Amino acid sequence: MTIPLSAAPETVRGPAEHDVRTQIIEAATAHFSHYGYDKTTVSDLAKAIGFSKAYIYKFFPSKQAIGEVICANCLSQIEADVHQALSATAAPPEKLQVLFTVIVESSLRLFLQDRRLYEIAVAAATDQWPSAQAYQARIRKQVEDILKEGRASGEFETVSDLQMTSHAVYQVLAPYLNPVTLPHLKALHAEHPQALQQLVLRSLAPQR
């Protein structure tokens, strides 16, 4: 398990401590997934892992700092799924379809499969933790890059403002990136899983 650079870099206190950090994160992930994030204190966690509270604080300044790393790990799994699927895709319209499909499927799987870790994802999205903000910014950039590529290749229209249109496409996708909003849209998505992406692709098609 690697610690993404996006996860609260001020909590990283040197590579020599990497193994202990990993050990704490793995134990905390298991502990939170059994007992929940909201109700667990750093004292509970210390007891469960068999470390002193002071020792844990040497590596992580707060419970949120631990949650941040777990959250960043979860989000980087979604992004790994996205990148893997995109690497097998060349045409920008197909890339956009893949982005929509994988984001939704992977988010449903990772956010909703484990109700206890779900609490961490909810805290991250609600309080806009740095890991959640960085994730959203990267997906937003991904959308813009695909739009640029499609405009350059003539597969997307070039009449509308790029910034505005990128924003709009990201705004359509955004509710499916967020563990709080996702459950409220799950049933609607399941009715016609391709409907949104087809609407977006028709919107981006050049006028003939």
Residues that bind a second copy (CB under 8 A): 125-126, 157, 160, 164-165, 167-172, 174-175, 178, 180-181, 184-185, 188-189, 191-192, 195-196, 198-200, 202-203, 207-208
Smallest distance, a second copy to C-beta of residue 135, A: 14
> What angle is formed at CA 43 by the lines to CA 123 and CA 39, rounded to 5 degrees?
35
What H or E segment, with its residue span, contains residue 77?
A: helix 63-87
Residue number with CB closer to a second copy (10 or 208): 208
Smallest distance, a second copy to C-beta of residue 72, A: 19
Smallest distance, a second copy to C-beta of residue 191, A: 6
Residue number with CB closer to a second copy (11 or 203): 203
Burial grade of 171 (CB within 10 A; 0-12, 13-18, 19 or more) = exposed
Residue number with CB closer to a second copy (65 or 146): 146
Encoded tokens for 44: 């509970």
Smallest distance, a second copy to C-beta of residue 160, A: 7
Position 172, amino acid = V
Residue number with CB closer to a second copy (106 or 178): 178
29: left (phi over 0), alpha (psi -120 to 50) or beta: alpha
Residue number with CB closer to a second copy (20 or 168): 168
Residues 6+ apart with CB under 8 A from 107: 78, 176, 177, 179, 182
Smallest distance, a second copy to C-beta of residue 107, A: 14
Q: Tell me the C-alpha distance between 33 and 29, whole Å.
A: 6
